[in-house]
Amino acid sequence: MARVKRGTKRRARRKKYLKRTKGFFLTKSKLYQSAQEAANRADRYAFRDRRVKKREYRKLWIQRIGAAARQNGLTYGQLIHGLKAAGVTLDRKVLADLAVLDAAAFTQLAAKAKAAAPPPKKA
């Protein structure tokens, strides 16, 4: 059987990795093995952090909604519970946008939530 040297395929694969790691620090952009490791690590972080980004945004929205709710005399939990009881189906992203950009509309929603929420139990 004939020997296979893989000249062009190997060169193409190495060029692809080196092109992907252009701009990386020191040997990570110059040497094939270092570049390959850096590119694979970058892919793992990118995959993981696409999910982390969603968590971070949700946390930010909740903080903004909570701050706006406290300005209207409610806690975050009371506001969300009241909106659910009132049948308001806005998600946290939209609520956070309203809290930042349209305080008057958020105040109306908070009033609706206050009216719909059951009174707190006294011990």
Per-residue pLDDT reduced to its tens digit, 90-106: 999 999 999 999 999 99
12-116: CATH, from 3.40.190.10, 3.30.470.20, 1.10.10.10, 1.10.1900.20: 1.10.1900.20
pLDDT at 4 over 90: no
pLDDT at 11 over 80: yes
User: Distance between CA 104 and CA 68 in Å, rounded?
Assistant: 11
| Strands of 1-123, DSSP E | none
CB-CB contact of 47 with 36 (8 Å)? no
Chain centre to alpha carbon of residue 65: 16
pTM, rounded to two decimals: 0.78
pLDDT at 117 over 90: no
Residue 86, φ and ψ in degrees, nearest 5 = -80, -10
Confidence bin at 123 (pLDDT 50/70/90): low
Domain ranges of the chain: 12-116
CB-CB contact of 116 with 110 (8 Å)? no
pLDDT at 122 over 80: no
User: Distance between CA 90 and CA 94 in Å, rounded?
Assistant: 6
pLDDT at 38 over 80: yes
